[in-house]
């Protein structure tokens, strides 16, 4: 996949995408190239170049013929069913389904047993700080998602959880375009946007004023969330930005969130 990310290091989106493709440029004809052809930007860039390795494509939107594709709730590899979206899994959301499908393709190409792969997927535990439920208090569920450092990841998380009533977001500004998140949040049913520096303070100017709450610290954000989040719903911390402005990394931010949640009022 290709997204708008790491611009604080890469300088421009074009340069970031170009250096990502070095993984394919440095392959030989003995290597395998696996990519998501339903990512329009990535698909276009790959078609413009002549890579030596053998391509395998994953296309969950059925935009064009692909080696792995979704059809009527089933995942196929070259017309052979390898997975069903109805199978139980702890990795929630369509974004994790995409990850699962790529892993299944790798395993299939390596000749691994399909039944064993499906059993492993069923039992696989999500990473800490990635859509992780950390507490339930006063009939409110609290999720931490500090690994979501780009707008697309936060959007996927909201869509996965569905019952998000309060969103805590914002972090270090590394110069990426947040229009996709602005458009999504402005139309969403989320009632409380708790905005932290720096990015969410900027984004807040484009969101419904009645839903916006500006805070300066994570502790303030959690205290506010405890007061305003409706019972029977979810409070989600999903920054859509890196955490380096106030924390050492996403783990420290996630740990502090958990600490503030379980702290007695």
CA distances from 61 to 157, 246, 264 (A): 19, 38, 46
pTM: 0.72
Q: What's 210's DSSP letter?
A: G
* pLDDT of 184 strictly over 90: yes
Confidence of residue 173 (pLDDT cuts 50, 70, 90): very high
Q: Which of 89, 91, 130, 94 is nearest to 236 (CA)?
A: 130
Q: Are 180 and 150 in contact (CB under 8 A)?
A: no
Q: What is the pLDDT of residue 69?
A: 93
Q: What is the pLDDT of residue 63?
A: 67
Q: Which residues pair with 214 in a beta bridge?
A: 195
Confidence of residue 258 (pLDDT cuts 50, 70, 90): very high
Q: What is the pLDDT of residue 219?
A: 97
> CA-CA distance, 94 to 120, in Å (whole number)?
18
User: Which backbone phi and psi does 227 adopt, to 5 degrees?
Assistant: -85, -35
Q: Are 153 and 240 in contact (CB under 8 A)?
A: yes
* pLDDT of 171 strictly over 90: yes
> Which of 229 and 6 is assigned the larger pLDDT?
229
The enclosing H or E element of 27 equals none
Average pLDDT of the chain is 92
Q: What is the pLDDT of residue 93?
A: 85
Q: What is the pLDDT of residue 7?
A: 56
Q: What is the pLDDT of residue 2?
A: 75
Confidence of residue 147 (pLDDT cuts 50, 70, 90): very high
> CA-CA distance, 70 to 74, in Å (whole number)?
6
Q: Are 250 and 243 in contact (CB under 8 A)?
A: yes
What's the whole-number mean pLDDT along residues 243-257? Answer: 95
User: Strand, coil or helix: what is 32?
Assistant: strand
pLDDT per position as a tens digit, 65-96:
899 999 999 999 989 999 999 999 999 888 88
Q: In terms of DSSP H, where are the helices of 80-217?
A: 94-109, 114-123, 151-161, 179-187, 199-203
User: Strand, coil or helix: what is 121?
Assistant: helix
- Can you spell out the DSSP letters for 190-209? --EEEEPTTHHHHHGGGS-G
Q: What's 127's DSSP letter?
A: P
Confidence of residue 11 (pLDDT cuts 50, 70, 90): low
């Amino acid at each position: 996949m290709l997204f708008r990310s790491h611009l604080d290091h890469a300088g421009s989106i074009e340069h970031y995408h170009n250096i990502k493709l070095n993984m394919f440029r440095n392959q030989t004809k003995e290597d395998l190239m696996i990519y998501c052809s339903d990512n329009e930007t990535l698909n276009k860039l790959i078609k413009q170049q002549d890579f030596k390795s053998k391509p395998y494509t994953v296309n969950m939107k059925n935009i064009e013929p692909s080696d792995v594709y979704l059809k009527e709730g089933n995942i196929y590899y070259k017309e052979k069913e390898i997975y069903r979206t109805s199978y139980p899994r702890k990795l929630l959301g369509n974004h994790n389904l995409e990850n699962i499908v790529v892993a299944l393709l790798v395993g299939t190409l390596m000749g691994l047993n399909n039944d064993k792969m499906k059993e492993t997927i069923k039992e696989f535990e999500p990473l800490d700080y990635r859509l992780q439920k950390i507490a339930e208090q006063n009939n409110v569920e609290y999720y931490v998602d500090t690994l979501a450092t780009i707008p697309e990841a936060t959007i996927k998380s909201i869509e996965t959880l569905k019952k998000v009533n309060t969103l805590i977001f914002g972090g270090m500004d590394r110069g990426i375009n947040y229009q996709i998140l602005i458009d999504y949040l402005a139309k969403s049913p989320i009632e409380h946007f708790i905005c932290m520096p720096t990015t969410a303070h900027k984004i807040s100017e484009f969101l419904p004023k009645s839903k916006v709450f500006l805070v300066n610290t994570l502790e303030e954000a959690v205290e506010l969330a405890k007061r305003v989040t409706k019972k029977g719903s979810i409070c989600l911390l999903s920054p859509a930005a890196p955490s380096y402005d106030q924390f050492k990394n996403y783990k420290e931010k996630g740990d502090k969130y958990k600490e503030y949640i379980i702290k007695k009022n």
